[in-house]
């Protein structure tokens, strides 16, 4: 186990605290739709599709998906903080970091400001369709096909029910080519595209598209040769190292997006969160360049 340098201790502590920050915001009423907020307007709106008026659960469920994604983002941040405090600061932390970033990016995508209620709900249905499609596709290759016949049949039934439901809510559902699916023209966007728009909108100086690609490379073993920390010795041998500065940057990459995600949720519900404000103060102290 590697000793934890003092300048890693503070970022690790902040990462460990992400779950506490989330739960404190929850206790403040994180998921309550305050009068005049985007959530309050969405939940009271009347929308319809070819099958008639939308069900009352649709807009709140889209919101709940985003809230849950940020909760999962917080838990992943905590996991990295635990590893950092234990001195385990090599490649596994990058897989966790990428996952945390993805959860935050999708939460932003679901509740992105300046999108309409129909766009937000279309994105939520696309997310569920994609998830169920992958579950159904993976089930086709299970080794226990006979024993799992009931589960596989249930997935097929669920797929039919979900697609029928979406077609009743929206005028156009295009599932002709996987990877190019759309609902009323709303596409299921790539992580890279969402990351780019997310950080650009936040005013970050870092290009979100580049950052996500960097995290993706670090999270895959086949990408090791393309990452920082690879050196070549005098006899041609390769050497890998991880610097404390890089670990500090990784904490920055995790903590600031978590704060942005939490603000997406609080803003949508009209919550002035003391927990989010306190986290911002900590981040300004340790990562002032994020607010320059």
On whether residue 73 sits in a domain, the answer given is yes
Number of neighbouring beta carbons within 10 Å of residue 52: 9
Mean pLDDT, residues 10-37 taken together: 95
Query: CB of 175 within 8 A of CB of 125?
Result: no
On whether residue 175 sits in a domain, the answer given is no
On whether residue 234 sits in a domain, the answer given is yes
Residue 229: band (very low, low, confident or very high) from pLDDT cuts 50, 70, 90: low
Who has greater pLDDT, 148 or 191? Answer: 191
Cα(51)–Cα(54) distance, integer angstroms: 8
Q: What's the pLDDT at 164?
A: 97
Residue 225 has pLDDT above 60, yes or no: no
Cα(203)–Cα(194) distance, integer angstroms: 14
Structure tokens given for 201? 């909108």
Residue 221: band (very low, low, confident or very high) from pLDDT cuts 50, 70, 90: low
On whether residue 280 sits in a domain, the answer given is yes
Q: Which residue range forms the structural domain that includes residue 35?
A: 6-118+187-291
Cα(103)–Cα(54) distance, integer angstroms: 27
Q: What's the pLDDT at 227?
A: 60
Q: What's the pLDDT at 58?
A: 97
Cα(219)–Cα(97) distance, integer angstroms: 8
Q: What is the DSSP letter of 177?
A: S
On whether residue 153 sits in a domain, the answer given is no
The pTM (predicted TM-score) of the whole model is 0.89
On whether residue 14 sits in a domain, the answer given is yes
Cα(226)–Cα(39) distance, integer angstroms: 43
Cα(252)–Cα(291) distance, integer angstroms: 12
Which residue pairs from 157-162 have beta carbons closer than 8 angstroms and sit at least 24 positions apart in sequence? Answer: 158/132, 159/132, 159/133, 162/128, 162/129, 162/132
Q: What's the pLDDT at 72?
A: 97
Distances from the Cα of 48 to the Cα of 23, 121, 211, angstroms: 35, 12, 39
Residue entry with tokens 């990408």: 223
Mean pLDDT, residues 257-281 taken together: 96
Q: Sign of the C-alpha dihedral, residues 57, 63, 69, 71?
A: negative
Number of neighbouring beta carbons within 10 Å of residue 178: 11
Domain total in the chain = 1
Q: What's the pLDDT at 222?
A: 57
On whether residue 111 sits in a domain, the answer given is yes
User: pLDDT tens across 60-107, in order?
Assistant: 999 999 999 999 999 999 999 998 888 776 667 888 999 999 999 999
Query: CB of 110 within 8 A of CB of 188?
Result: no
User: pLDDT tens across 167-179, in order?
Assistant: 999 999 999 998 8
Q: What's the pLDDT at 230?
A: 72
Helices (H), 52-190: 58-85, 92-110, 117-139, 149-169
The lowest-confidence range among 53-57, 152-156, 192-196 is 152-156
Mean pLDDT of the chain: 89
Please give the sequence-ordered ranges of beta strands (E in DSSP) within 197-262, or none if there are none.
230-232, 238-240
The lowest-confidence range among 111-125, 142-156, 186-200, 201-215 is 142-156
Residue 228: band (very low, low, confident or very high) from pLDDT cuts 50, 70, 90: low
Who has greater pLDDT, 222 or 273? Answer: 273
On whether residue 265 sits in a domain, the answer given is yes
Q: What's the pLDDT at 148?
A: 73
């Amino acid at each position: 186990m590697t000793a934890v340098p003092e300048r890693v201790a503070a970022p690790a502590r902040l990462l460990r605290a992400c779950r506490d920050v989330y739960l404190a915001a929850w206790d403040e009423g994180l998921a309550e739709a305050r009068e005049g907020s985007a959530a309050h307007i969405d939940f009271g709106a009347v929308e319809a599709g070819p099958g008639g008026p939308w069900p009352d659960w649709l807009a709140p469920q889209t919101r709940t998906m985003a809230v849950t994604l940020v909760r999962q983002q917080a838990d992943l941040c905590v996991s990295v903080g635990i590893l950092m405090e234990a001195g385990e600061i090599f490649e596994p932390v990058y897989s966790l970091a990428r996952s945390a970033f993805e959860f935050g990016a999708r939460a932003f995508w679901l509740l992105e400001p300046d999108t309409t209620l129909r766009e937000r709900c279309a994105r939520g249905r696309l997310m569920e369709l994609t998830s169920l499609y992958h579950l159904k596709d993976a089930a086709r290759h299970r080794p226990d096909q006979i024993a799992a016949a009931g589960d596989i049949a249930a997935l097929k039934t669920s797929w039919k029910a979900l697609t029928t439901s979406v077609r009743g809510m929206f005028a156009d559902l295009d599932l002709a080519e996987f990877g190019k699916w759309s609902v009323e023209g709303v596409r299921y966007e790539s992580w890279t595209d969402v990351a780019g728009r997310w950080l650009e909108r936040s005013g970050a100086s870092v290009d979100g598209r580049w950052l996500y690609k960097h995290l993706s490379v670090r999270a895959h073993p086949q990408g090791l040769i393309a990452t920082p920390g690879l050196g070549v010795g005098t006899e041609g041998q390769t050497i890998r190292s991880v610097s404390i500065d890089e670990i500090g940057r990784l904490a920055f990459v995790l903590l600031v997006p978590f704060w942005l995600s939490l603000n997406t949720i609080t803003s949508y519900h009209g919550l002035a969160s003391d927990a989010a404000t306190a986290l911002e103060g900590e981040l300004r102290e340790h990562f002032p360049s994020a607010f320059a």
